[in-house]
Amino acid sequence: MSLTEADVKRMAHLARIEIAQQEVASMLAQLSNIMGLVEQMQAVDTEGVAPMAHAQDLSLRLREDRVTETDQHEAFQAIAPEVEAGLYLVPKVIE
């Protein structure tokens, strides 16, 4: 399974990272090297092995259904790039 320039562009789009045309070839070379390392996994038979997502077998804790958070929007929005009247501003998405 080898990566192509089209794969690199598709991943960059999915990850929302702009990548200039002149960077694609070098990024492809680097990612191909890493995926080459990753390919070693395929040599091992893992038939019947249960996937391990976590170090500890935990189930998610539940909490009481009551309000615990206080309103901190001013503190949180003080560090936002662009805010107006308590709202985060982004470029217009609906005409």
Which residues lie near other proteins (CB under 8 A)?
1, 3, 7-8, 10-12, 14-19, 27, 30-31, 33-42, 44, 46, 49-56, 58, 60-61, 63, 72, 75-76, 78-82, 88, 90-93
- From the CA atom positions of the chain, what is the Rg in Å? 23
Minimum CB–partner distance for residue 13 and other proteins (Å): 8
Minimum CB–partner distance for residue 28 and other proteins (Å): 10
The nearer residue to other proteins, 44 or 67, going by C-beta atoms, is: 44
* Overall residue count recorded for the chain in this entry: 95
Minimum CB–partner distance for residue 92 and other proteins (Å): 8
Task: List the one residue out of 26, 1, 2, 82 whose CA is nearest residue 12.
Answer: 26
* 83 token code pair: 């805010």
Is residue 51 within 8 A of residue 38, CB to CB? The reply is no
